[in-house]
Amino acid sequence: MKEKLFVPKKSIASKLIASVLSFIMIFNIFAAVLPVSAVAQLSDDLEITEEIVPDVEDIEPLSGSLFTYTINVIGWYGDGTGTGFTLTDLESNEQLDVNFIQESNYWWHVSFESEAAELSLDLQGFANRPTAFGTSFVLTSEFSNVYIFWDDMSSTLYAAPSPDGTIDFTVITEGQNIHLAGTFNSWTPTPMTHHANGGLLELLTPIGEQAVPTRRIYTTTVAAGVGVHEFKMLLGSTGWAGGTNATVTVRPTFEISLTGPTNLIGVGNHTFTAAVAPAPVGTIVWAINPAISGISVVDGVVTIAETVPNDTAFTVTASYGGATAERAVRFFQTQPEVVTLTINYFRHDQNYAR
């Protein structure tokens, strides 16, 4: 069982004060036998010491790195329970000020930042959505994205996507023979690897709970690729988790944006600009989709030949490091004619408008 370690601040302050008082007593004893100049120097040193050592209770904790944590809780269409979720830090017993938002797949979602590299949390205000530890779970810098399913799973699932396109899945459950299926494996249930209880289970066990043998750890790594992926866990190969699919997003190391015209007027060259962050060290790959005879792109310059039909639609794409940006465009041989339309209508209050 994990236990909280609490060191009272006042006991530290008392020890510090006692040490200072002892030093002053020793100073007074030896002051009589020391030269005046030495006494003055010691007095100056003591004054400096008193200036640079503040009261222990006034010392602010050092600010560290901020960690981003994400919690995903299954819901249903029209589900309003997520607005009543309360999230409590089990170490401080303080409630976190977070707001869950229901996504289009009906899952409730919240992301927040914390200086703590490990959090033991308790989620209240929901029914039939237990974790592997009742209502509590752990978040760490490595296991920072957690999923809580219906009570048919009674589990805690972590998904850790990497910019290389892989996703590490970790499940804590009292169930056996856990499988995973999703868009990354054509929804074919794939068995996860069972691990003997040890350090990982101990790490992911919340304060007040025990890493008992009935709780098991399952892991797997899938090559998903950059993008949004849907998935579900299964008990065995047929016991699908209830509710809608969960989603996990694999983001590339780089981000890319594309600017340029949307209407290309006349044959010849048209310039597009791609911005990559952080700054690229290689070459941006350009393409025309779909490929059209007479249209090419080199280093952001789209060249259109006279043979390309008027009003041709296509997409300019720029890719780098797994990130892709697109811009839909249309080609016109000449400037399209602008037609002005006037609409007149009658209002029931007999006020006309144009």
Q: Are residues 319 and 234 in the same domain?
A: no
Q: Are residues 22 and 82 in the same domain?
A: no
CB 93 within 8 Å of CB 139:
no
Q: Are residues 317 and 291 in the same domain?
A: yes
Q: Are residues 71 and 214 in the same domain?
A: yes
Q: Are residues 53 and 124 in the same domain?
A: no
- Alpha-carbon distances, residue 189 vs 167, 170, 173 (angstroms): 16, 16, 17
- What pLDDT, on the 0 to 100 scale, is given for residue 354? 52
CB 130 within 8 Å of CB 154:
yes
- What pLDDT, on the 0 to 100 scale, is given for residue 282? 84
Whether residue 337 lies inside any domain: the answer is no
Q: Are residues 106 and 80 in the same domain?
A: yes
Whether residue 37 lies inside any domain: the answer is yes
d(CA 36, CA 95): 59
pLDDT in tens, the chain (354 residues): 444 433 333 443 444 444 444 544 444 544 444 454 544 554 444 443 333 333 434 334 444 689 999 999 999 998 888 889 999 999 999 999 999 999 999 999 999 999 999 999 999 987 779 999 999 999 999 999 999 999 999 999 999 999 889 999 999 999 999 999 999 999 999 999 999 877 999 999 999 999 888 899 999 999 999 899 999 999 999 999 999 999 999 988 888 999 999 999 999 999 999 999 988 888 999 999 999 999 999 999 999 999 999 999 999 999 998 889 999 999 999 987 777 888 876 666 666 555
**What tokens appear for 59 in the block?**
């010392």
- What pLDDT, on the 0 to 100 scale, is given for residue 4? 40
How many structural domains compose the chain? Answer: 3
- What pLDDT, on the 0 to 100 scale, is given for residue 196? 83
The distance from CA 60 to its chain's CA centroid, rounded to whole angstroms, is 28
d(CA 157, CA 56): 41
Whether residue 74 lies inside any domain: the answer is yes
- What pLDDT, on the 0 to 100 scale, is given for residue 64? 60
Q: Are residues 39 and 138 in the same domain?
A: no
Phi, psi of 201 (to 5 degrees): -65, -40
Q: Are residues 104 and 233 in the same domain?
A: yes
Whether residue 347 lies inside any domain: the answer is no
Single residue among 200, 231, 250 that ends a domain in this structure? 250
Q: Are residues 216 and 79 in the same domain?
A: yes
Q: Are residues 246 and 97 in the same domain?
A: yes
Domain span including residue 283: 255-332
**What tokens appear for 129 in the block?**
């959505």
Whether residue 285 lies inside any domain: the answer is yes
- What pLDDT, on the 0 to 100 scale, is given for residue 343? 81
**What tokens appear for 307 in the block?**
């043979």
Whether residue 340 lies inside any domain: the answer is no
∠ CA 48-49-55, nearest 5°, is 120
Q: Are residues 134 and 230 in the same domain?
A: yes
Q: Are residues 261 and 240 in the same domain?
A: no
d(CA 169, CA 58): 43
d(CA 143, CA 126): 23
Whether residue 343 lies inside any domain: the answer is no
- Return the closest-CA partner of residue 175 out of 205, 214, 219: 214
Whether residue 354 lies inside any domain: the answer is no
> The domain that contains 291 carries what CATH number?
2.60.40.10
d(CA 335, CA 121): 62
